[in-house]
Structure 1
Amino acid sequence: MILTYKFNIQKAYWLWIFYFILFLMCTTSYLPKCLVKKHENKNSIINPNLIDTNKTYYLHVLGAGYSLEKRLSATKQLSDVTLTRLIEAIRISKLLPNYIIVSSGYSSLGLESQASVVKRAAVELGIPKQNIEMLTTPSNTSEEVSAFVKRFGTNKNVIVVSDALHLSRAIMLYKKNGIVAISAPTNFKVKQGINDYNGVTLPSISSIDLMNEYLREQLKYWKDSW
């Protein structure tokens, strides 16, 4: 009886040690940054030299939130994430003689769609209306890809613009739907420039959030890959 009690105490002790180490690994910056950086680097930054300028490219800007506050311009109505994706698409469009920017995203309340606000923002930033198409019904990434294929078919040259952490799943979904798309990552969560600190930190909410985003993306990738 005493031996069993001592064994249980010892087992509980090592479990607490294990949980404490796991807590430190997930809440300090080193492990979350390593995992996120590895995932973000799966898709290379678009190389202008590899683009065939004789082709027409469809730049699909995946949605990531917006607000219909009427006193604001369209660019200000977009979430920071969506706006950054749109800016990246516009930057790439400057390298292409022939392009179409495709905005996507619905309105859960039956109001102006996210795709429509992205289109207005693109026009504000100098993109001609005739170079923009909208997909106003999708509510998630899988639906965005399906809507594109249904609308334009599978014989288009597609450049997908999204967050670096999210892009692997979008490219995978395009491949499942018969299109080998080109990745255009933006909104990098981990940057390791010479002026960035990338050492070990104390436990923080930001590190927990980063780990949470990584784990959620992994689960969504697994779900969508079936």
Structure 2
Amino acid sequence: MIWIVIFSFFLVCATSFFPKYLIKKHENKYVEIDVSSLDKSKTYYLHVLGAGYSLDTRLSATKQLSDVTLSRLIEAIRISKKLPNYKIVGSGYSSLGIESQASVVKRAAVELGVPDDKIEMLTTPSNTAEEVVAFVNQFGIDKKVIVVSDAMHLPRAIMLYMQNGIVAIPAPTNFRVKHGINDYNGITFPSISSLDLMNEYLREQLKYWKDSWSNK
């Protein structure tokens, strides 16, 4: 009996429909930011949360960023072009004590046409909770903050900002599940990619629970 339960659970997790359903529900907590609704007289801080990089000196800064971090930066730049007053904030440390992720984000932003004086760095945080605390410590709680991150990751980031006294504006990107007419989100044969989706969803839920309780 127990093997039937285990096999059934495996099929549910490995055949795409259920993992995509859960991720879709989670990602739909925030819609794409409507920049036209923002108060253009204010200065907005676009916090680009870190998601990895490589200091491969053969490559330009944009290519040194992970695909996820680069996509977040591109979304921040897209938004900034519609705002008269803004700062782009890169964050992330270096575990080896060399150039930080925040520094590479800044170099990449400059490569993409952002003026140097429009970019700020948080060079010490190693995870999302530390990124939020570092922002508050450096800029205070009275700033207008737009958090740019993956749609899957944003609910936790926004919750952490709220715990630290800022009602931040979510700017989701890197949607894991899309709903275009050319996207198939039904049942598939069992696959590693579907298991990866389920694993990603469960890990994010556990991190949300951990962060929500650790700061109480």
Give the TM-score range, shorter chain: over 0.9
Deviations 1:17-63 (A, max 9, x none): 22221111011100000000100111121012211111100000000
Structure-2-length-normalised TM-score? 0.98
Amino acid across the alignment from 2:93: Y
Question: Which residue of structure 2 lines up, in the alignment, with residue 165 of structure 1?
Answer: 152
Alignment of 1:73-222 (within 5 A): 73-222=60-209
Number of residues of Structure 1 aligned to a counterpart in Structure 2: 213
Say which of 203, 212, 215 aligns to 1:225.
Answer: 212
Q: Amino acid of the residue matched to residue 28 of structure 1? A: T
Q: Sequence identity of aligned pairs in percent?
A: 77
Q: Which has the larger radius of gyration?
A: 1
**1:197 Cα shift?**
1.1
Q: Following superposition, which runs of at least 4 residues in structure 1 exceed 4 angstroms of deviation?
A: none
Secondary structure, counterpart of 1:183 in structure 2: strand
Does the residue aligned with 2:210 lie in a helix, a strand or coil? helix
State the Cα distance separating 1:123 from its structure 2 match.
0.2
Task: Give the structure-1-normalised TM-score.
Answer: 0.93
Query: Matched residues in 2 for 1:34 and 1:133: separation?
Result: 37
Gaps of 5+ in 2: none
Partner of 1:165, secondary structure, is coil
Name the Cα RMSD after superposition.
Answer: 0.6
Amino acid at match of 1:185: P
Q: Which runs of 5+ in 1 are unaligned?
A: 1-13
DSSP 3-state at the match of 1:159: strand
SS at match of 1:225: helix
